[in-house]
């Protein structure tokens, strides 16, 4: 994990991952996906979890050479603050029929794991997917509450509230081109 000087941007106390580092992680995972799914009899469905996974999904998609179908889902698991509430709601459903398909869930971050456990259960047990694996940019492994497997992770991070590269603070700063730790003086 790198720490860069953010003296130019008082909203952050440090940069954890630059755009270049994130893109390298996406490339590493893209190669793994190609190797694992190239002989599949069906094209896997990438389900991008709105809103936070959009930037990361763009990177991952550019590095996957094999065919993938794409869809979006929106779940809400916390309400604009800095801590997960544990309550998960489906905001917008899928449009693709995933029955008997391999699903790759694209997430920004797995924190408690409750959202991911909810999605895997929904896709496999309720919607009949053949498999549901996750490609997450960040994995806060230490704070996991749900017993859920994280198959592909860009980076493992400690328990601190991060923003940027899709991750928001009160619905803003998703457009910041790096993952950083928020300056406690601004919240
Ligand atoms: P869960 O706790 O269910 O694993 O994570 C649910 C959601 O909480 C994530 O998809 C993300 O939107 C949000 N979240 C968890 N940790 C952080 C964080 O450090 N920063 C931001 N901005 N959102 C987070």
User: Model confidence over 148-185: pLDDT tens digits?
Assistant: 999 999 999 999 999 999 999 999 999 999 999 998 88
pLDDT digits (tens, 9 = 90+) for 23-69: 999 999 999 999 999 888 889 999 999 999 999 999 999 999 999 99
Q: What is the pLDDT of residues 85-110, one digit of tens each?
A: 567 888 888 999 999 999 999 999 99
What would the 3-class secondary structure string for 88-109 be? CEEEECCCCCCCCCEEEEEEEE
3: in domain: no
From the alpha carbon of 161, which atom of ligand 1 is closest?
Answer: 19
Ligand 1 binding site (Cβ under 6 Å of any ligand atom):
52, 77-78, 84, 107-116, 161-163, 167-168
**Residue 3's pLDDT band (cuts 50, 70, 90):** very low
Q: How far is the centre of ligand 1, averaged over its atoms, from the C-alpha of 154 (Å)?
A: 15
| Predicted pLDDT of residue 2 | 46
CA–CA dist 108, 103 (Å, integer): 16
Question: Is 168 an annotated catalytic residue?
Answer: no
| Nearest atom within ligand 1 for CA of residue 163 | 22
Which run of H or E residues covers position 155?
strand 152-156
Domain assignment of residue 184, yes or no: no
Q: What is the CATH number of the domain that holds 79?
A: 3.40.50.2020
CA 74, CA 68: separation in Å to the nearest integer? 20
Residue at 164 is within a domain: no
* The two three-digit tokens of residue 54, written as one number: 């959009």
β-strand partners of 132: 103
- At 1, is the pLDDT very low, low, confident or very high (cuts 50, 70, 90)? very low
In total, the chain counts a number of residues equal to 187
In our burial notation (b when 16+ CB lie closer than 10 A, e otherwise), range 127-157 reads bebeebbbbbbbbbeeebebebebebbbbeb
Write down the pLDDT at residue 58: 98
76 CA from centroid of ligand 1 (Å): 10
Range of the domain at 72: 22-157
């Amino acid at each position: 994990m790198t720490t860069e000087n953010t003296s130019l941007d008082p909203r952050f106390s440090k940069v954890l991952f630059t755009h270049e580092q994130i893109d390298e992680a996406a490339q590493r995972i893209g190669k793994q996906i190609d190797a694992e799914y190239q002989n599949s009899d069906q094209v896997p469905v990438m389900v991008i979890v709105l809103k936070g996974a959009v930037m990361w999904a763009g990177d991952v998609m550019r590095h996957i050479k094999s065919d993938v179908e794409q869809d979006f889902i929106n779940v809400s698991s916390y309400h604009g603050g800095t801590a997960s509430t544990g309550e998960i709601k489906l905001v917008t459903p899928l449009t693709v029929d995933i029955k008997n398909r391999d699903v790759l869930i694209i997430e920004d971050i797995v924190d408690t794991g409750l959202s991911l456990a909810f999605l895997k259960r929904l896709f496999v047990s309720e919607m009949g997917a053949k498999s549901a694996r996750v490609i997450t940019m960040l994995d806060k492994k230490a704070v996991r509450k749900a017993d859920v497997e994280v198959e592909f992770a860009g980076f493992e991070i400690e328990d601190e509230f991060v923003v940027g590269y899709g991750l928001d603070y009160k619905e803003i700063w998703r457009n910041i081109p790096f993952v950083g730790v928020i300056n406690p003086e601004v919240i």
